[in-house]
């Protein structure tokens, strides 16, 4: 009477067919990957039935891959905290203590799930809580205690997220099961230290009672649990630890006591508690010479200062001379901590004491310094006390960089000051590097206060990065006038020379919001990101070069004209900008840019300052011609009023190109074609007049491709025609390549107008990509009947032969909306993406192969049957599709696919055309057996009416249709089969378990099936291979009662 979680396996074990190949099968790895994905997905959605089905049908647990999948699935189930699936996997041989390569055990996964039930279950199944780990890895107790923990290199900055703290009951359970309470975690913390830091009162007591040493020190900072409790500020835990004999005056690796740390981290209640327990208030650190009083003053905590003074702290203690020799009063005075000064003076602090430089407190208070922000303890510098040769220095610097960057992003100048004062040695290479990067970041963020702080700490206002990115450029990008002004006042240079390939600071300012393009007039300006005009004027006033060309070849005046900056134009001209200089990109003047942008005011301004009106660009176009080309009537009118020549024409042969090329352009212009849509000037072809050998041709082609693709996406046939006529030389390799890709994209978009245009311009209707992707396939994917029809009329071939590993065009059409699966019957069809039936019929009528198998091994008829396409089935058969051909995926016929899909009409159609009814697949299943397995009672009835054998048995697993129906929990199918003569007492062969339908129904708790079987005289005394009857296998009391009647 074995109870088994495998009762969930109500579906047929015959599904194991997919993985009956040996481990040497060449596609086994792929199959295993699919299995892994399926089982993981089932675990994620907590579908234990599917998990059980996959285990029973797809995984051979004795193989290497089977074991690997089981292990990974078990850890994933533990991580999900799903007890039902965990139980199921355990019953199927999952090892409760098997760890991954990274020493990640199922128990650790269960702890991370924060599921008490799962952890308890694993421990009951003998999962080990005390498995030894490497020093670099956390054991299971560490994992539990570190839930919600965010470590930091700065002491006291560790953070705990209460939402992710592990359940206290889980931690106690692990401790009770022998988890090591004195082992240090990968970060060097003790278990008691972690519990103290996260304020876990109950855990502290439990750990101590189980043998945790309260005076052990961690290897991270040499601190005790008491010190961590001090920093956390938990008085209760402090008292608990002291109650269990925690040493009160033990010191960490920087010679700080628990009292000193409590003073440093502003915990007055803990300070008071420690003093009451006998802590020494005048203990001094041998590392930096500080006392608890000095630390309290540096932390700006008046309450702590007063508690220490009341309890006998030495008010006039002076740090050793070699450690600056300062007193508490000097530090309070220098930091502007007036409350502390008053308290110290009330306890007779000596105002005449001097530091190592001979300064008194009075001198220090008069010194103006931005370092007054450094009110937090310099003791935090301990983390980086190692020399530059320290093997982990790079990692430390990386963390420092991350911390200071985060502080800058949040505008936290106090933390920035603290990090500079405590973690960065500014004389070292790494210190300088961090300061430089932090300074540029602060400028980029536009935080004046932090920029000031960094400047006072030695940041170089003109130091540039390797890419010539200066702090001033960063400030310009922040668009903060105050930051730019501050840097210029601090002598940042606005006229630093740059390489021709780089932008100077004025270019950076003028190009804010600029999106360049290879097509003239298609440049775009984003108004949201335009740089403040005041900043640009400020840079010009500080000597920025007004005639230097930017990296793109534009002049400052050209950029200002293009972006419609009236005020900047005037300012540039007044500072010496030449209105008749030409840029090196197109040989255009600022007037031409103003004409293209259509700004009449700027045009008049430039003409006012003697801009030449009839000067031409490198293609011999004047400003008037450009205004006419780019549809700017107001500018045209203004230029004519100013005397522009309305009859100026291109001088063929004198514009930098040979007469032959110019003549060819004229010949093309006169040609009749769909390019009559090119109402814009052919002069746009200027961008691509260079030969194929031009060094930047590839970049130009890339931009052309992007432009034509964008035009196709928005259905803009005019722009497509324009680009074809002006930018693409169709006889070149790149021109052909662009045309081919554009044609496939247009087919994919289903845009007939653009398609016609490309066909008229030489696109090849049958040219394929490397992956055998043809324009016709693209059109089919667009689901546009008109596009497919057009291509077929233009002699696109629907019967192009393909490799066995590729789909032909009919397969592509039939697989629209198809989502394959390795598990038979779980294939899915998305009706939204089904290809239009008219398209499929059109392809068949144009000769598409109706008997060729697709890349997945399916036949066209199988795909049509699976997706319930009645009309397509008939059309395929009439065009010669063989109804009895088997696919190479599962050895199934179209009839079997129709049976699984449950479509009675298609089944009758196939049978009408002589489909063999009792043919079997590669696992010896008939269509009737599949219909029974996949719960299709109407199909079962229809097939029986057509003569299907109800007692056919699979030679693969010994199952009959009746057994499959019971395993699928389908009472209707069971009844139909019994009514039509199914053998009620058929018993599977002994070597295949020897079970009967009654045994399986009883074992799975299928009471309706048991009743039906008994009504047809099922024998209750038959036994399986282990000698069990149905009664022995049953655990349901109601079924047992029926069996014993």
DSSP, residue by residue, 745-811: HHHHHT-HHHHHHHHHTT--TT---TT---HHHHHHHHT-HHHHHHHHHTT--S-----TTS--HHH
- What are 836-883's pLDDT values in tens digits? 999 999 999 999 999 999 988 899 999 999 999 988 999 999 999 999
Using alpha carbons, list the distances in angstroms from residue 545 to 473, 500, 512, 573, 577: 14, 13, 17, 12, 9
91 plus 20 within the same structural domain = yes
Q: Residue 143: what pLDDT? A: 92
In this prediction, residue 723 has a pLDDT band, given cuts at 50, 70 and 90, of confident
Instruction: Specify the pLDDT at position 1004.
Output: 87
Distance CA 492, CA 478 (A): 16
Whether residue 484 contacts residue 531, with contact meaning beta carbons closer than 8 Å, is answered with: no
pLDDT tens, 129-160?
887 667 778 899 999 999 988 887 667 778 88
Q: Is 301 a residue whose pLDDT tops 80?
A: yes
Q: What is the dihedral of CA 694, 698, 700, 703, to 10 degrees?
A: 180
Residue 215: inside a domain, yes or no? no
Asked whether residue 379 carries a pLDDT value surpassing 50, the answer given is no
pLDDT of residue 867: 92
Span 657-662, average pLDDT: 37
pLDDT at 225 over 60: yes
State whether 569 and 611 are in the same domain: yes
Mean predicted confidence (pLDDT) in 52-59: 80
Confidence of residue 21 (pLDDT cuts 50, 70, 90): very low
CA distances from 190 to 345, 762, 925 (A): 42, 75, 62
Q: How far apart are CA 932 and CA 973, in angstroms?
A: 6
pTM: 0.42
| pLDDT above 80: residue 19 | no
Residue 672 has pLDDT above 50, yes or no: no
Task: Tell whether the model's pLDDT for residue 261 goes beyond 50.
Answer: yes
Q: Looking at the predicted structure, is the pLDDT value of residue 9 above 80?
A: no
3-state secondary structure of 166: coil
Nearest 5°: phi and psi at 818?
-90, 130
In a domain, 334, yes or no: yes
pLDDT at residue 552 in the model: 84
Pair of tokens at residue 802: 């393909």
Residue 92: partners with Cβ closer than 8 Å, 6 or more residues away: 6, 55, 61, 70
Same domain, 818 and 936: yes
494 close to 488: Cβ distance less than 8 angstroms: yes
The residue behind tokens 């719960």 is: 935
**Residue that finishes a domain, picked among 923, 950, 972:** 972
pLDDT in tens, 280-289: 999 998 888 8
Same domain, 346 and 393: no
Residue 1045: inside a domain, yes or no?
no
By C-alpha distance, which of 771, 782, 794 is closest to 746?
782
Report whether pLDDT(642) > 70.
yes
For residues 627 and 678, membership in a common domain is answered with no
Q: What's the pLDDT score for residue 524?
A: 83
- Higher-confidence position of 904 and 32: 904
**Does 321 share its domain with 401?**
no
Placement of tokens 């004195």 in the chain: 182
Given this model, what pLDDT does residue 456 score?
Answer: 78
The CATH number linked to 37 is 1.25.40.20
Task: Give the residue from 328, 347, 382 where a domain finishes.
Answer: 382
Determine the 3-state secondary structure of 150 from DSSP.
strand
Q: What are the φ/ψ torsions at residue 686 (nearest 5 degrees)?
A: -60, -35
Which position has the higher pLDDT, 809 or 324? 809
Report the chain's mean pLDDT, rounded to a whole number. Answer: 83
Task: Name the CA radius of gyration of the chain, rounded.
Answer: 41
**Residue 999 pLDDT exceeds 70:** yes
Task: Say if residue 630 is in the same domain as residue 681.
Answer: no
Quote the CA–CA distance of 869 and 640 in Å, as a whole number.
Answer: 68
Give the least confident one: 73-77, 104-108, 888-892: 888-892
Nearest residue to 308 (alpha-carbon basis) of 280, 342, 329: 280
Q: Evaluate if residue 487 carries a pLDDT over 80.
A: yes
What is the spatial distance between Cα 354 and Cα 982, in angstroms, rounded to a whole number?
Answer: 108
Q: Annotate 71-90 with three-state secondary structure.
A: HHHHHHHHHHCCHHHHHHHH
Tokens describing residue 191? 């278990």
What range defines the domain where residue 369 resides?
259-266+279-382
Q: Give the pLDDT of residue 497.
A: 67
CA distances from 118 to 26, 173, 178, 671, 911 (A): 38, 12, 18, 79, 53
Q: d(Cα 460, Cα 436) in Å, to the nearest integer?
A: 7
Tokens of 293: 């009083």
Flag whether pLDDT at 26 surpasses 70.
Answer: no
Local confidence band at 323 (pLDDT 50, 70, 90 cut-offs): low
Structural domain count, the chain? 6
> Residue 525 phi/psi, 5° resolution?
-120, 125
Residue 221 CA to residue 7 CA, distance in Å, equals 55
Rounded alpha-carbon distances, angstroms, from residue 24 to 57, 115, 1004: 19, 40, 35
What pLDDT does 371 receive?
Answer: 36
754, 770, 786 — which closes off a domain? 770
Residue 930 pLDDT: 94
Backbone φ and ψ for 393, nearest 5 degrees, come out as -60, -40
Q: Is the pLDDT confidence value at 951 over 70?
A: yes
- Half-sphere CA count of 10, side-chain side, radius 13 A: 18
pLDDT of 15 reads 36
Is the pLDDT reported for residue 685 higher than 60? no
Structure token digits, residue 470: 């200066």
Does 230 map to a domain? no
- Asked if residue 515 has pLDDT above 90, the reply is no
What per-residue confidence (pLDDT) applies to 68? 86
Does any domain span residue 1008?
no
Q: If 0-12 CB within 10 Å is exposed, 13-18 middle and 19+ buried, where does residue 526 land?
A: exposed
How does pLDDT run across 269-282, given as a tens digit for each residue? 999 999 999 999 99
Residue with tokens 């505008």: 411
- For residue 602, give the nearest of 637, 565, 646 by alpha carbon: 565
Q: Which residues are paired to 818 by β-bridges? A: 829
Same domain, 409 and 426: yes
Is residue 406 located within the same domain as residue 335? no
pLDDT over 90 for what percent of the chain?
Answer: 43
Instruction: Look at residue 451 and tell me whether its pLDDT is greater than 60.
Output: yes
d(CA 90, CA 474) in angstroms, rounded, equals 59
Whether pLDDT at 96 is above 70: yes
Q: Is there a single domain that holds both residue 682 and residue 805?
A: no
Please report whether residue 955 resides in a domain.
yes
Q: Between the CA atoms of 33, 39, 42 and 44, what dihedral angle is there, to the nearest 10 degrees?
A: -80
pLDDT at 681 exceeding the cut of 90? no
Residue 396 counted as domain residue: yes
- The reply to whether 1029 falls in a domain is no
Over residues 725-781, the pLDDT tens digits come to 777 776 777 788 888 889 999 999 998 889 888 888 888 888 887 777 899 999 999
Same domain, 478 and 564: no
Whole-number Cα distances in Å, 743 to 80, 684, 779, 836: 49, 22, 10, 22
Q: Is the CB of residue 892 less than 8 Å from the CB of residue 862?
A: yes
At 696 the pLDDT is 61
Do 760 and 785 have their domain in common? no
Task: Calculate what percentage of the chain has a pLDDT beyond 70.
Answer: 88
């Amino acid at each position: 009477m074995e109870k088994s979680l495998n009762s969930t396996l109500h579906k047929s074990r015959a599904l194991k067919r997919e993985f009956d190949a040996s481990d040497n099968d060449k596609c086994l790895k792929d199959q295993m990957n699919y299995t892994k994905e399926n089982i993981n997905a089932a675990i994620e959605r907590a579908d234990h039935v599917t998990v059980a089905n996959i285990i029973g049908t797809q995984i051979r647990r004795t193989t290497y891959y089977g074991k690997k999948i089981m292990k990974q699935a078990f850890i994933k189930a533990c991580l999900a905290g799903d007890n039902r699936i965990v139980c199921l996997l355990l019953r199927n041989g999952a090892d409760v203590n098997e760890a991954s390569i990274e020493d990640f055990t199922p128990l650790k996964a269960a702890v991370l799930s924060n599921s008490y039930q799962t952890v308890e279950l694993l421990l009951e199944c003998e999962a080990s809580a005390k498995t030894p780990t490497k020093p670099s890895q956390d054991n299971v107790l560490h994992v539990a205690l570190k839930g919600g923990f965010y470590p930091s290199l700065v002491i006291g900055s560790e953070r705990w997220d209460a939402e992710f703290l592990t359940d206290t009951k889980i931690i106690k359970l692990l401790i009770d099961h022998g988890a090591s309470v004195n082992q240090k975690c990968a970060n060097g913390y003790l278990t008691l230290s972690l519990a103290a830091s996260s304020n876990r009162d109950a855990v502290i007591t439990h750990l101590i009672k189980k043998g945790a040493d309260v005076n052990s020190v961690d290897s991270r900072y040499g601190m005790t649990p008491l010190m961590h409790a001090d920093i956390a500020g938990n008085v209760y835990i402090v008292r608990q630890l002291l109650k269990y004999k925690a040493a009160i005056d033990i010191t960490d690796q920087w010679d700080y006591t628990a009292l000193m740390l409590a003073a440093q981290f502003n915990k007055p209640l803990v300070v008071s508690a420690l003093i009451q327990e006998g802590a020494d208030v005048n203990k001094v650190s041998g590392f930096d010479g500080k006392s608890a009083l000095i630390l309290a003053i540096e932390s700006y905590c008046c309450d702590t200062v007063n508690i220490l003074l009341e309890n006998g702290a030495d008010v006039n203690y002076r740090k050793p001379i070699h450690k600056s020799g300062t007193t508490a009063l000097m530090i309070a005075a220098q930091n502007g901590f007036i409350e502390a000064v008053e308290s110290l003076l009330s306890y007779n602090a000596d105002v005449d004491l001097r530091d190592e430089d001979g300064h008194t407190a009075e001198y220090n208070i008069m010194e103006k310094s931005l370092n007054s922000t450094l009110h937090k303890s310099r003791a935090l510098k301990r983390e980086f006390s190692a020399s530059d040769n320290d093997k982990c220095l790079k990692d430390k610097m990386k963390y420092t960089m991350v911390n200071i960057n985060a502080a800058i992003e949040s505008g936290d100048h106090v933390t920035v000051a603290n990090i500079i004062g405590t973690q960065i040695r500014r004389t070292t290479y790494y210190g300088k590097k961090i300061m430089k990067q932090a300074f540029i970041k602060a400028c980029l963020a536009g935080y004046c206060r932090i920029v000031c702080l960094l400047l006072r700490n030695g940041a170089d206002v003109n130091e540039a990065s390797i890419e010539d990115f200066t702090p001033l450029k960063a400030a310009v990008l922040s668009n903060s006038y105050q930051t730019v002004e501050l840097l210029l006042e601090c002598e940042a240079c606005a006229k630093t020379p740059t390489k021709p390939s780089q932008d100077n600071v004025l270019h950076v300012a003028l190009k804010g919001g600029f999106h360049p393009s290879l097509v003239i007039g298609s440049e775009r300006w984003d108004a949201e990101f335009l740089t403040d005009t005041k900043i640009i004027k400020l840079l010009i006033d500080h000597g920025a070069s007004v005639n230097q060309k930017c990296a793109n070849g534009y002049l400052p005046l050209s950029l200002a004209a293009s972006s419609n900056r009236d005020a900047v134009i005037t300012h540039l001209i007044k500072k010496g900008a030449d209105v008749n200089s030409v840029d090196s990109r197109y040989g255009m003047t600022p007037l031409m840019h103003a004409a293209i942008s259509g700004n009449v005011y700027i045009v008049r301004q430039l003409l006012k300052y003697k801009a030449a009106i009839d000067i031409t660009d490198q293609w011999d176009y004047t400003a008037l011609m450009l205004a006419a080309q780019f549809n700017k009537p107001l500018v045209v009118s203004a230029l004519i009023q100013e005397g522009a020549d309305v009859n100026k024409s291109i001088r063929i042969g004198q514009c930098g190109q040979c007469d032959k090329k110019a003549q060819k352009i004229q010949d093309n212009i006169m040609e009749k074609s769909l390019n009559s849509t090119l109402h814009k000037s052919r002069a746009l072809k200027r961008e691509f007049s260079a030969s194929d050998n031009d060094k930047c041709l590839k970049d130009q082609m890339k931009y052309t491709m992007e432009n034509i693709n964008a035009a196709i996406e928005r259905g803009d046939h005019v722009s497509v025609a324009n680009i074809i006529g002006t930018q693409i030389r169709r006889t070149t390799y790149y021109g052909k390549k662009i045309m081919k890709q554009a044609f496939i994209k247009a087919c994919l978009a289903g845009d007939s107008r653009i398609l016609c245009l490309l066909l008229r311009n030489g696109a090849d209707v049958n040219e394929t990509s490397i992956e055998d992707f043809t324009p016709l396939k693209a059109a089919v994917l667009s689901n546009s009947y008109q596009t497919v029809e057009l291509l077929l009329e233009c002699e696109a071939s629907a019967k192009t032969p393909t490799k066995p590993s590729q789909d032909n065009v009919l397969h592509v059409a039939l697989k629209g909306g198809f989502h394959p699966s390795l598990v038979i019957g779980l294939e899915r069809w998305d009706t939204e993406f089904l290809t239009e039936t008219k398209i499929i019929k059109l392809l068949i009528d144009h000769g598409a192969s109706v008997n060729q198998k697709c890349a997945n091994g399916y036949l066209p008829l199988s795909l049509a049957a699976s997706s319930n396409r009645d009309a397509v089935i008939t059309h395929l058969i009439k065009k010669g599709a063989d109804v009895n051909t088997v696919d190479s995926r599962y050895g199934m016929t179209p009839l079997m696919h129709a049976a699984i899909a449950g479509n009675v009409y298609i089944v009758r159609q196939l049978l009408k055309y002589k489909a063999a009814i009792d043919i079997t697949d590669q696992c010896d299943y008939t269509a009737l057996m599949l219909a029974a397995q996949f719960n299709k009672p109407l199909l079962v009835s229809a097939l029986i009416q057509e003569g299907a054998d109800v007692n056919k048995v699979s030679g693969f697993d010994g199952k009959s249709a009746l057994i499959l129906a019971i395993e699928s929990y389908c009472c209707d199918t069971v009844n139909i089969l019994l009514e039509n003569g199914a053998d009620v007492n058929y018993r599977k062969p002994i070597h295949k378990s020897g079970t009967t339908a009654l045994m399986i129904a009883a074992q799975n708790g299928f009471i309706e099936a048991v009743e039906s079987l008994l009504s047809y005289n099922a024998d209750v005394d038959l036994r399986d291979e282990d000698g069990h009857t149905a009664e022995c296998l049953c655990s349901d009391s109601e079924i047992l009662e029926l069996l014993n009647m």
